[in-house]
Copies of this chain bind each other. A is one copy, B any other.
């Protein structure tokens, strides 16, 4: 069973996504959870506290996933495919929190903002290094690694939003199709 704190986090994430962090009040969160605003303060001290927890937990999940994949003995192209699968899974499982990473992170307070951008920058650097390694291995054609990184990440970043509007899409099928679009390309060869 979910703890009260988990329920509060889920409700807050849903509201931050729908209304934006700034427009969401403690009162809104209390109403969504179904408790009095005064009681909510027994569980969390501010909306920034819960916002930080949502964003930094999500950033750490990505970092842990990257460490596990990048630390494995797989070839770089397999690592890249596993990263794409991870993004698809996270977009499906953590749709609300992921939306905050794409849109709302600028509202973090100074210190958590520093931690967040540092995790993100490190993540993107590792992602780019894996792309470079795919080129060195001869598995990728010689493309500009920065353009390839931008192209892949801009699609993966918006996946949560696109996915929420789909009704009948199989997650396993979606992983396969995303790898196909982003790695193999559309052209028949």
Contacts and interface: CB of A to CB of B under 8 A. Distances in A.
Contacts of A185: 182-187
A155 interface: yes
Interface stretch (A40-48, A49-57, A66-74, A142-150): A142-150
A184 B187 contact: yes
A3 interface: no
Contact of A183 (B143, B174, B186): B186
B162 A154 contact: yes
Contacts of A178: 147, 151
Interface stretch (A30-38, A107-115, A118-126, A132-140): A132-140
B134 A150 contact: no
Contacts of A60: none
Interface residues of A, number: 35
Nearest to A142: B188
A61 interface: no
A52 to B, nearest CB: 24
A64 interface: no
Interface string A141-184: 10110111011001101110010001000000110011011111
Contacts of A184: 141, 185, 187
A19 interface: no
A2 interface: no
A77 interface: yes
Interface of A: 77, 131, 134, 138-141, 143-144, 146-148, 150-151, 154-155, 157-159, 162, 166, 173-174, 177-178, 180-189
